[in-house]
């Protein structure tokens, strides 16, 4: 097996995509940590279900966007670029959700373990990840 065959082998490509997406997922979780007013992992450690729901929705949303990006783009740089663009749209959607609910503060409600708000946050992240994913295809 020569070098080209090795790098184009489906197992090697899968491992490469997996590694890059996990790294992008870690970066996205750090960025979400900066955007929210609470500390995601501290709240989850304390048993805050609303934060777990919202964070789980973000993780699913980012992974789903990268799924579409892997499916539709032929090179690793294209996949990363479109995936990060989709992630940026997901952050924008989160900020828009906060803006469109002026009667209460989303971050404060989630930090206070308001599971209804956590579930809506999860649903928005998951739902919009399908729309974003379809648009970057």
Distance between CA atoms of residues 122 and 137, nearest Å = 23
E-state strands within 59-127: none
Computed over its alpha carbons, how large is the radius of gyration of the chain? 17
Residue 12 has pLDDT above 80, yes or no: yes
Q: What is the pLDDT of residues 45-93, one digit of tens each?
A: 999 999 999 999 999 999 999 999 999 887 888 888 998 899 899 989 8
Tokens 């032929």 sit at which residue? 74
Total tally of structural domains belonging to the chain: 1
Cβ–Cβ under 8 Å, residues 95 and 31? no
pTM of the predicted model, to two decimals? 0.87
Residue 6 has pLDDT above 80, yes or no: no
Distance between CA atoms of residues 63 and 71, nearest Å = 12
Q: Give the per-residue pLDDT at 8.
A: 75
Structural domain of 105 = 3-136
Q: What is the pLDDT of residues 90-135, one digit of tens each?
A: 989 888 888 888 888 999 999 999 999 999 999 999 999 999 999 9
Q: Which two tokens stand for residue 82?
A: 């479109």
């Amino acid at each position: 097996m020569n070098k080209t065959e090795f790098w184009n082998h489906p197992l090697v490509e899968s491992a490469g995509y997996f590694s890059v997406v996990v790294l992008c997922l870690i970066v996205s979780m750090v960025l979400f940590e900066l955007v929210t007013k609470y500390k995601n992992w501290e709240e989850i450690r304390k048993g805050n279900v609303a934060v777990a729901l919202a964070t789980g929705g973000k993780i699913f949303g980012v992974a789903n966007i990268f799924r579409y990006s892997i499916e539709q783009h032929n090179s690793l740089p294209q996949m990363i670029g479109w995936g990060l663009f989709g992630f940026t749209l997901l952050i924008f959607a989160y900020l828009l959700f906060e803006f469109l609910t002026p009667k209460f503060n989303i971050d404060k409600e989630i930090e206070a373990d308001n599971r209804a708000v956590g579930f809506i946050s999860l649903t928005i992240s998951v739902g919009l990840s399908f729309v974003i994913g379809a648009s970057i295809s």
